[in-house]
Amino acid sequence: MRMAADILTVENVTKSFGNLRALDGVSLGVRDRKVSILIGPNGSGKTTLINVVSAVYKPESGRVI
């Protein structure tokens, strides 16, 4: 049986808006054939992370593969 591979990798991503650091060294992997969810309280950076992954925003550091 084939092992599930990462179809999305986020490595040490940071994103700021002025003095507000919305993402601070975020890393994660999303596996092929797995259900993944992103949860957190209001203001925790979920939408910013999705916007970085979808190239709406460019991160200051780190990378999205």
In DSSP notation, 11-48 reads EEEEEEETTEEEEEEEEEEEETT--------TTSSHHH
pLDDT at 4: 73
| Structure-token pair, residue 7 | 């179809």
Query: What count of residues does the chain have?
Result: 65
On whether the CB atoms of residues 13 and 26 are closer than 8 A, the answer is yes
pLDDT at 9: 97
pLDDT at 3: 66
pLDDT at 2: 62
pLDDT in tens, 1-55: 666 789 999 999 999 999 999 999 999 999 999 999 999 999 999 999 999 999 9
CA terminus-to-terminus distance, the chain: 25
Domain ranges, ordered by start, for the chain: 6-64
Which helix (H) or strand (E) segment is 55 a member of?
none
